[in-house]
Structure formats: structure tokens, C-alpha cells
Amino acid sequence: MSREIAHPWRIEAGRTARVETEDHVESLIEAVLFTSPGERVNRPTFGSGVLRAVFAPNSDELAATLQVLAQSSLQQWLDDLIEVEAVQVDHVDATLEVTVQYVLRRTRQRRTVQFVREV
């Protein structure tokens, strides 16, 4: 098992916290999905913009748009770490549920992660 610097960065036991690679990648996926472009000063294009659509009227078209936004952002920002196989976005009222199926490039391990956000 490989260990990475924890994201978000923090200190544990007087040292920089480290986490397993799988947990590190999941936190990076979460950062890409739930950061809006323009939110980061030095990387104005970073993120997916998925959260901006939470209050839009729910429809099949909106779900398809959010899936494309999420998948293209993950491919743009994390392509060196993961191969995105599938992204599913479910939008119910003010709750957004995003499921990402991917393969870790380093180990070829297939993983699925799900995030739920209420705003």
C-alpha cells in the first residue's frame, strides 16, 4: 500500500498527515466535483461547476449536462491518476448525488465512490 499526503492538508501527531492512495484519490475527486470554476484564485478553471446547478429545475437534460460536466472535469484534472469509466448524477430537490466509477492507473484497481451534497 502506498501512502500520500492527506488532502486537505492537516497535521497529525506533529507531522503532515498521510493517507492511503485510494483515500487520497477519492478526496481529489471530491475536490474536482464540488469546486466551482473561479473559486480558486491561482487555478480559475479548476472544478466542475456541478454545484451551481443544484437549484436548477430538475430534468433529464440537467442530469445529462451534469454528468458531462463532472466526467470531463475529472478527465481534465485527474487523468494522470484515474481512468473515469462512468459518472452518474442524481439531482433531487436540493440534494446532489454523484457516483463515479474509475480505475486507478497505478494499480489498475477498479473503484466506485459516491458523494452526496445537500445545499
Looking up cell 474536482, which residue turns up? 32
- CATH classification at residue 101: 3.10.450.40
Residue 29, in any domain of the structure: yes
Which band of pLDDT confidence, cut at 50, 70 and 90, is reported for residue 99? very high
Q: pLDDT tens-digit profile of 66-95?
A: 899 999 999 999 999 999 999 998 877 777
pLDDT given at position 9: 66
Looking up cell 445537500, which residue turns up? 118
pLDDT given at position 101: 97
Residue 13, in any domain of the structure: no
Residue 3, in any domain of the structure: no
Separation of alpha carbons 72 and 22, rounded Å:
21
**Entry pTM:** 0.82
Contact 17, 5 (CB under 8 A): yes
